[in-house]
Structure 1
Amino acid sequence: MGGAGDAKLSYWVASEKPWTGGATPPPKEADVVVLGAGIAGLTTAYLLARAGRTVAVLEAARVAEGVSGHTTAKVTAQHNVIYADLIRRFGKDKAELYARAQQGAVEWIAGRVAEWDVDCDFRRRDSYVYAETGDTAEKLRAEAEAAASLGLPAEYVTETGLPFAVTGAVRFAGQGQFHPRRWLHALSDRLVAAGGTIHEGVRATGLSGGTVHTTAGDVEARDVVVTTHYPVFDRGVYFARLEPRRTLLMATPVAASAEPPGMYISADSGHTVRATPHGDGSMLIVGGEGYPPGEEGPVQDRFARLAKWGNMTFGVSGFPYQWASQDNTSLDRLPYIGRYHPFADRLWVAAGFGFWGMTNGTFAGHLLTDLITGVESEYSGLFDPSRATIRQSAAHLVGLGLHTAKHYAVDYPSAFRPDGHPDALSPGEGRVTHFGRHPVAVSRDLDGHPHTVSAVCTHLGCLVAFNDAERTWDCPCHGSRFALDGSVLHGPATHPLTPVDLDGDPVKEDAVGEAVREP
């Protein structure tokens, strides 16, 4: 079986050079500070700059190298199977608002790509959710009827263009796909041309009123917009209202004649398929094997299973690009877009896109711009982070709370094992153990160098787990991720894991206290 590539290598990131228009350090003040340079943050910043606001975007890493650089990049209003459920739970009027928001985002992107002549491989493609069983096919028939009733270009079909038979599918005609990094680099250029600034390598570490505390100093703002994928400030209790999940992706070159003609996701297995232009041919992208971060055993085994499925299904021999995407789902499957909490005056958020960030993030930029500039929007109530439907999701909320409590109860005792010194590890291995009375994450990188840091996540104190495929420390409670040296790769954590000196004091006595403070 082929497919033993580098699990950290996203095709989107590898195939496009980094954006070079960033400015540092950040300004001392701005009308609006946007945290996060993904699709939601950049769209919001561009639209606000066009509206006359001075805007500064703060990005902890690089533009479009986070979640937006690790997506499947489907630009579609078809969000798996959702519309029949939205009608059932919210009524047809609200379901139609969601549908219009998503299809509107598709058309806005398509319009700007044409207007700006953006070379981002944007192509119209039909999007399919397909069934592999008879029961699921009937569910998809109802989904097609529901989506069509909301004005979406949906129909039930039995032919998809895939190289295997399906029992039925919902087709959305005329959707889109693109190279996400190229699109976001173009959007970044337009933001700068409109007077905005982007500051890479600047991480927000706290907020006091309108003062954003960062690793590069304080920035004063009239409005602060948090689009960091997982909100970095806990005052909105988003850690109890978002469920993180990772999904694996792989890519390999194929002949243009061999590429599937649409974009696909299985309603049964969760496998995703699409292709994008690559040289004289195409790049086939497959995905699946989703799991909660920090759980479900060796991640490398999941990559192996996905590679096996891709090899057998499409007749390829390996996948030189392998990466993972992470997103968060809200309690009721609708994103949180609006005021950070009911009493927030000038603090805004966009989160919980449920793996459909290309349209949800684009729409979020439009809605947040309306809210910040005082324009009334018919969408504000549906996506309000404090909406009444959140209170109706009590069972799901309790379930997320029990999930976190389980990890506190199980992971801490299991860390106190007699073995665990780095000397016992081979290159590329890691485990959670203890030194003295403190849980410690020990590992060796691929060059054999040992790394020892506190195993206590600096967000809310859960213990991290080793990801053997990506060689990271992942928090199973809220999805924070850290490099082997403890540096933050993915929020909501904003502080690194505490270093541990094996030749001295095992862990600083304030390590756990540091872990549970709010940024």
Structure 2
Amino acid sequence: MTQNADSFSEHPKSYWRDLIDFPNFARLDQDIEVDIAIVGGGITGITSAYLLANEGLKVAILEADQLMNGTTGHTTAKITAQHDLIYDEFITNIGKNNARLYYEANTEALHFIKNTIEEHKIDCDFSMQDAYLYSTTEEYAEKIRKEAKAYEKLNIAGELVETIQLDIQIKNALIMKDQAQFHPTKYLLHLVDIIKQKNGLIFENTTAVNIETGKQPTVLTRDGSRVKAKYVLACTHFPFYEGLGLYSTRLHADRSYIIAASPKKPFPGGMFISADQPTRSLRSVKIKDEEMVLIVGESHKTGQGKETIKHYEALKAFGEQIFELESIPYYWSAQDLVTLDKVPYIGELTSGHPNILIATGYRKWGMSNGTAAALLFRDIILDKKNNYKSLYTPSRFIANPSIKNFLTENVNVATQLIKGKLELTNINPNTLANDEGAVITIKGERKGAYKDKQGQLHIVDTTCTHVGCEVEWNNGDRSWDCPCHGSRFSYTGEVLEGPAEKPLQKYDYKMLDNLTSEDSGY
């Protein structure tokens, strides 16, 4: 799927999922009982299963789609504790001790991945790299200087410099040395093999929809199968079961975009991310023995903002300026969730449910945070001391910044809900070009239409099946995205990402022939 620098006409595809022989696993079609039921087959779920199977526990992974087909398969795959401008903010909001614990948790996760790769001799393109956080404006240069002081307060090894080995005019940059990058699916597939060797169970196309709570909770699947366990681990990006945690009000979804490009100018090594907005992140990647560069950025709330195809185009323009691109063999997007205080929620779902654990809100730093979550899960289940339990506990509430962010996010949700209900259009779906989607109106009701490359119309109800917000068309990824809580649906209405569990209602496009202009709204 090689793109020239003028077009993103093909459907997006992640390099991490291409050229890989993924195993297939059956759908769960019977009731089972295990020690640990793990819902979600990304880095958190697979690492948890690996760790707990190593402890002699009987584990089962339930994946709604295919393993590693969510955020884990669409990551940038940096393993680092340098998570943008965060430590100065953490010192102010959660305190110096907690800020240091956050750094230590993510650094330990990096070391765990490195040691696991070395122990099992996993071929996954792992390499140690220095991480650079750079500024291009004086406003952000001052923020980086404050971040450098935070590094000093937290005893984080860092270095403030004024130049980097990229053709970018910067004001300054902050280095965190000895970070890493890798090929995430090659790494995790090796762990999957070990899980199978230890008699772990893995099921794909098995959607968990609810939990019957109790001393031994039971996971209920959409197809009616039941999984009874001593512990349930919800590793599903957005928690598939919220209980009384009200996570819909405490998280928001953010999307970002990635292109894998062949540069004419060589990449100097290292991992780079801009402090300025819009974010620009860079790292190298080897594709078919050719050194390429991943260009990442254009963050925005899911379902909100400009036409999504323009985000890919902006990354391409940036890459052309820095490297002169020859081709773009892959491009894709991903989203992650952000908590009120920017620290993930990892641990007991709510007080009173000590055997239901969740992990969410990685803020796009899931390789380290997801691994830290698995390590914490292991220690909670084995009743071992873990220094990070209190830091990550989902029941925490830190007034500053949580109250402000809680109000801001939920006002935004209410605004998007009302805005979507008021939006009606006069677009005739029959006038759509092939590979074009739009919101239309039929009998006074809002619908979504997409005409595929063969000219067939696909029409769905645009009301999100989570809490009833109206989805928006994502022309970069050919999906319907919810601006309230980040649910995403294919153009045929199938759920791509939660928290929604049910698909969008389909509408028979053939009925359009029998509608009058007054009926259809165009």
TM-score by length of 2: 0.92
Alignment-derived partner of residue 272 in structure 2: 264
Alignment-derived partner of residue 426 in structure 1: 433
Alignment-derived partner of residue 498 in structure 1: 505
Distance 2:510 2:288 in 1: 53
Deviates more, 1:152-161 or 1:101-110: 152-161
Report the CA distance shift for 1:76/1:490 in structure 2 as closer, same or farther (over 3 A): same
Alignment-derived partner of residue 94 in structure 2: 90
Q: Which amino acid aligns with 1:4?
A: S
**Residue from 211, 215, 222 that aligns with 2:222:** 215
Cα deviation, residue 428, structure 1: 1.5
Cα deviation, residue 53, structure 1: 1.7
Cα deviation, residue 91, structure 1: 2.0
Distance 2:315 2:411 in 1: 30
In the alignment, is the contact (CA less than 8 A) between 1:3 and 1:319 conserved in 2?
A: no
**Residue from 415, 436, 455 that aligns with 1:448:** 455
Alignment-derived partner of residue 478 in structure 1: 485
| Superposition map of 1:279-358 within 5 A | 279-358=288-367
**Residue from 32, 38, 51 that aligns with 1:47:** 51
Distance 1:131 1:391 in 2: 27
Q: Which amino acid aligns with 1:310?
A: G
Distance 1:246 1:263 in 2: 20
Within the alignment, does 1:377 sit opposite 2:389 as a pair?
A: no
What SS is found at the alignment partner of 1:322? strand
Report the CA distance shift for 1:151/1:26 in structure 2 as closer, same or farther (over 3 A): farther
Report the CA distance shift for 1:188/1:151 in structure 2 as closer, same or farther (over 3 A): farther
Deviates more, 1:23-32 or 1:428-437: 23-32
Alignment-derived partner of residue 457 in structure 1: 464
Deviates more, 1:269-278 or 1:24-33: 24-33
**Residue from 375, 390, 397 that aligns with 1:388:** 397
**Residue from 54, 75, 92 that aligns with 1:71:** 75
Q: Which amino acid aligns with 1:72?
A: T
Distance 1:108 1:22 in 2: 30
Distance 2:508 2:393 in 1: 46
Distance 2:394 2:184 in 1: 27
Distance 1:26 1:328 in 2: 32
Give CA deviations for 1:176-199 in whole Å, capped at 9, x if unaligned.
Answer: 000111111112112222331211
Alignment-derived partner of residue 514 in structure 1: none
In the alignment, is the contact (CA less than 8 A) between 2:255 and 2:334 conserved in 1?
A: yes
Deviates more, 1:330-339 or 1:3-12: 3-12
Deviates more, 1:179-188 or 1:119-128: 179-188
Q: Which amino acid aligns with 2:500?
A: A
Distance 2:496 2:292 in 1: 27
In the alignment, is the contact (CA less than 8 A) between 1:420 and 1:442 conserved in 2?
A: no
Report the CA distance shift for 1:201/1:481 in structure 2 as closer, same or farther (over 3 A): same
Alignment-derived partner of residue 248 in structure 2: 239
Cα deviation, residue 313, structure 1: 1.2
> Where does structure 1 lack aligned partners over 5 or more consecutive residues?
507-519
Alignment-derived partner of residue 520 in structure 2: none
TM-score by length of 1: 0.92
Give CA deviations for 1:352-388 in whole Å, capped at 9, x if unaligned.
Answer: 0001001000000011111122223221111111113
Alignment-derived partner of residue 36 in structure 2: 32
Give CA deviations for 1:104-133 in whole Å, capped at 9, x if unaligned.
Answer: 111110111111100000000000100101
**Residue from 445, 462, 467 that aligns with 2:474:** 467
Give CA deviations for 1:192-245 in whole Å, capped at 9, x if unaligned.
Answer: 223312111111122222221213422222211111111122332111111111
Q: Which amino acid aligns with 1:223?
A: Y
In the alignment, is the contact (CA less than 8 A) between 2:242 and 2:349 conserved in 1?
A: no
> Where does structure 2 lack aligned partners over 5 or more consecutive residues?
514-522
Alignment-derived partner of residue 160 in structure 2: 156
In the alignment, is the contact (CA less than 8 A) between 2:27 and 2:205 conserved in 1?
A: no
In the alignment, is the contact (CA less than 8 A) between 2:260 and 2:329 conserved in 1?
A: yes
Report the CA distance shift for 1:390/1:340 in structure 2 as closer, same or farther (over 3 A): farther
Report the CA distance shift for 1:225/1:36 in structure 2 as closer, same or farther (over 3 A): same
Give CA deviations for 1:18-44 in whole Å, capped at 9, x if unaligned.
Answer: 234667557612111111111111111
Q: CA-atom RMSD, angstroms? A: 2.1
Alignment-derived partner of residue 439 in structure 1: 446
Alignment-derived partner of residue 364 in structure 1: 373
What SS is found at the alignment partner of 1:77? coil
In the alignment, is the contact (CA less than 8 A) between 2:439 and 2:449 conserved in 1?
A: yes
